[in-house]
Amino acid sequence: IKIENKQFGHTRLAIIDLDEEANQPMIFDDILLVFNGEIYNHLKLRDQLEDEGHFIQWRGHSDTETLLACFSAWGIEKTLQATVGMFAIALWDKQKKQLTLARDRLGEKPLYWGWCGSTLLFGSELKALKAHPDFVSEIDRDALALLLQYNYIPAPYSIYKNIEKLPAGSYVQIQANDTRPTVEIKKYWDLKAVMQKGLDQPFQGDALEAANLLEQKLVQSISEQMLSDVPLGAFLSGGVDSSTVVALMQSQSTKPIKTFAIGFNEPGYNEAEFAKEVSRHLGTEHTELYVSAEDALSVIAKLPEVYCEPFADSSQIPTFLVMQMAKQHVTVALSGDAGDELFGGYNTYQIAAKVWKSVSRLPHPLRKIATQVLGKIPTPQKIQKLIYVLPAQNREEFYQLLVTHWKIPTNVVKDAQTGSTVFNMPNQWIKTDHFEQWMMAIDTSQYMVDDILVKVDRAAMANSLETRVPMLDHRVVEFAWQLPLDFKIKNGVGKSVLREVLYRHVPRELIERPKQGFSIPLGQWLRGPLREWAESQISEHRLVQEGYFYPHPIRKVWQEHLSGKYDHALRLWSILMFQAWLEEQ
């Protein structure tokens, strides 16, 4: 739709109200809306409008129409605060000649925006922006350095200069003559404030009361997220998070829930057998797919198109495959993501806290000397990592080094500066004595949003599948942050309170085993079936010709990896994914 030289376009994956009346862009009074996502409580919002005396002649039962009516009646901030959902929204007010862009509280849905010359561009994907004739595709080398550091590009950066990601829980309002310096990003929900409030006003009940209340909140969230006019299912890995979501879905359903898992034949990488046992116990309609190295390798060629900016979490490969399989049976799937960040599930939280406690007793100068000496000796992978983090001056720097792949990425990326992220912005940190809580807060605000949710959303959208994350209902997040640390990590085991909820539905012995990541044997593949492809991406000739990287450090790491003495797979993957993306562009 074109209005006063402003264009709004939308491609719809129909989930609620399949009728054409629900198509977008949609207009109501003087407001036009395009919106990606779902508002799970939209029927309650309609009731609320009517209770307040707003009598509306509804054309259909879509959440888009509900949003428009709410914006018209309540304005921007009140509407955003009333929603329960995931969304990226663009709203044009014809009277005020004002554009509002808004993103959901936890950043489940992406929203890119920025000026190219005097043209403001916005969209859910960079592909949409690139289609515009005014788009200028200059690569941001600072963002590229961040990719090498974390394997993803954290908000507000994007791979292109002048194009930003709108931060989660935020909105911007833009008038006709505005430029970037005149536009203020406003928060309607502040994650840091939510986390701090939870720590300062903790839950006062016992562990049983906490489990009861958590179950209530999860049941409410899952019940709302099961609303769909198309077939719906869930991912089931057999771990705590996905098993909890599936158990609570099945407890609310008269028919077997459709569940999906993928397995690998490589030892140590297969969780499908556990998922099958949980499915059998709960009585779900289970589909599993065992994938070969060839299946996984065939996905790599698609990745630069699926992820419209370079993205290097290698679990993107199994994620894409499970989405592809699920789409053959359903159009909506619920996932167990966010359980680790909210309930202390990652092993790193406990290990890092213990290691830092020991390491910090050694004087800092001594640790620096130890790093220099040990760094010259070939050592096992875990010892390599320890050598890497020894020089940290404080616990925050220790954790940053722990999650960093290229320690000084500006030594690898030409003409790059070190970008700011939550790690070097102390004003974004919560105040807590517990290192574990600090790590969980950092991961919830950066890693979860810019890695986990990006990985899942883009892989799903590429397969025309909608994924929903019930643990990211903001009421669940707010409650999780009120829970004391020992309700999460107890006797060296994470997710204590979540396990209590799960064991009401699934026997403990089906779940209790060492945690496995959703991963692939990438290191082996780079020395084997992927070796030729990788060599072509990072040949010295190509690196010199393109001019983004200094070839020497990359070639050195590649040779060390091929020797088998070191596993540099995760470092190499960030370079390889950028190179493959660049080739696609």
Residue 34: phi and psi, rounded to 5, are -120, 140
Q: Assess contact for 518 and 315: CB atoms under 8 A.
A: yes
Structure pTM?
Answer: 0.93
According to DSSP, residue 160 is labeled B
Residues 520-563: tens digit of each pLDDT: 889 999 999 999 999 999 999 999 999 999 999 999 999 999 99
* DSSP reduced 3-state for 289: strand
- Pair type for strands 186-187 and 232-235: unpaired
Q: In what order do the strands lie in the sheet with 186-187?
A: 26-28, 31-39, 85-93, 98-103, 170-175, 186-187
Angle at 79 between CA 481 and CA 458, to 5 degrees: 65
Task: Report pLDDT for 29.
Answer: 81
Element holding 100 (H helix, E strand) = strand 98-103
Handedness of CA 329, 333, 337, 339 (dihedral sign): negative
Question: What amino acid is encoded at 210 in this protein?
Answer: A
Q: Assess contact for 273 and 265: CB atoms under 8 A.
A: no
Angle at 96 between CA 94 and CA 102, to 5 degrees: 85
Q: Assess contact for 236 and 278: CB atoms under 8 A.
A: yes
Task: Report pLDDT for 5.
Answer: 62
Task: Report pLDDT for 235.
Answer: 97
Give every residue of the chain whose pLDDT is below 50, as ranges: none
Spatial CA neighbour of 505 closest among 261, 245, 236: 245
> Within a 13 Å sphere around the CA of 262, how many CA atoms are in the beta-carbon half?
22
Tokens of 99: 């554009």
Task: Report pLDDT for 100.
Answer: 97
